[in-house]
Amino acid sequence: MKKPIATILFASIVLVCFAMQNLAQAAQECNPDEPETTPASRFEINRTDGTAFDTKTKLIWKICAEGQSFSEGHCTGAATSFTWGNAMQNFGGKGDDWRLPNVDELISIVEGRCQNPAINLAIFQDASSSYVWTASSNVPFSAEALYVYFGNGRSHSFDKTGIYYVRLVRGREWFDPFEEDERKQAKKATAQADKNSYVACKNKASCDKTFSLTQIYINSMANQKIQVATDTIIETYNPTEDGNIGISAIKIPGKGSSAVIRLTVSCKAGDRYAKFCMEKMLEIYNGFRPFVNKMLSD
């Protein structure tokens, strides 16, 4: 899904202000009542070469951002910023070399109970609330790639010409949800799904019937219960668990008593669920119009 314009504008402002310099280190804020998501006990630190081995994911991370040097337990020098294309050209290799992590890998070192930065500073001592590229494109929007903002630990997408930082990893890829041919297929599938995500109706009677069938379809496909159901909108609760589906529908008035009923599907991806969510969302979109048409014709 495309990000809101406000998000892109905010990222652009940050890009202008911080692209060519290290972000200032703010005082980290952590909630002591929440459990650590990346406890120090999970990592084995090599103080000689400046690496951290994650015993959970079996990945080895550079403690410092690319461009910095590890010396006497700290990262020195200024981090280097890259466009996504330059980062992939320099660090996109596979195998045992240092490489750009995919989005699930980079999120795996986010410390969920902390912010500014959302990372364990006992492991990554000099990390900042920076924007860090991943190797993951924003399927199916090929002009965008995913990054993680370590101010709050969330992933977003931005144009690949953006200039962000890089933290390298090595080891067998923990999770790569989309191969290149799958990305191409997903782009085509998304275009088809968009056509099936709405149904037009010509008069009040047919629109009421179609909207009633839409509610039946949502009940059959969503993991979440319906929270709102009016004459113009149907909406489930937001997905709460990884892989869960939420669905909403809105009746958009047309000329006279005609209308268009459009479906919107959401999925809580979480770690390792990106591919499942994409496939499930496409399945639901593509099944909507055929379901309504069949029920109307019976």
Higher pLDDT, 176 or 136: 136
Cβ neighbours for 283, distance < 8 A, ≥ 6 positions apart: none
Tell me the two tokens of residue 188: 């085509």
Average pLDDT of the residues in 84-104: 86
Q: Are strands 59-62 and 51-54 parallel, antiparallel or unpaired?
A: antiparallel
Name the pLDDT band for 18 (thresholds 50, 70, 90).
very low
Domain boundaries of the chain, sorted by first residue:
5-170, 180-297
Name the pLDDT band for 186 (thresholds 50, 70, 90).
low
CA distance 200 to 291: 14
Amino acid 191: pLDDT: 72
CA distance 265 to 1: 10
Amino acid 20: pLDDT: 34
Higher pLDDT, 86 or 268: 86
Return the minimum-mean-pLDDT range out of 50-59, 150-159, 181-190, 243-252. 181-190
CA distance 21 to 9: 20
Report CA-CA distances (Å) from 237 to 86, 119, 247. Answer: 41, 30, 8
Q: Which pTM does this prediction carry?
A: 0.55
pLDDT digits (tens, 9 = 90+) for 118-163: 999 999 989 999 999 999 888 767 788 999 999 999 999 999 999 9
Whether 291 and 215 have beta carbons less than 8 Å apart is answered as no
Amino acid 100: pLDDT: 95
Amino acid 194: pLDDT: 78
Amino acid 1: pLDDT: 38
Average pLDDT of the residues in 231-248: 88
Amino acid 27: pLDDT: 85
Q: 180-297, what's its fold?
A: TATA-Binding Protein (3.30.310)
Amino acid 83: pLDDT: 97
Name the pLDDT band for 200 (thresholds 50, 70, 90).
very high
Share of the chain above pLDDT 70, in %: 82
Amino acid 93: pLDDT: 67
Cβ neighbours for 222, distance < 8 A, ≥ 6 positions apart: 236, 245, 246, 247
Listed in order, strand segments (DSSP E) in 47-202 are: 51-54, 59-62, 69-71, 74-76, 114-115, 131-138, 141-149, 154-159, 169-170, 198-201
What's the whole-number average pLDDT of the chain?
84
Which of 12-21, 140-149, 180-189 is most confident? 140-149
Higher pLDDT, 294 or 186: 294
Phi, psi of 185 (to 5 degrees): -65, -40
pLDDT reading at 56 higher than 60:
yes
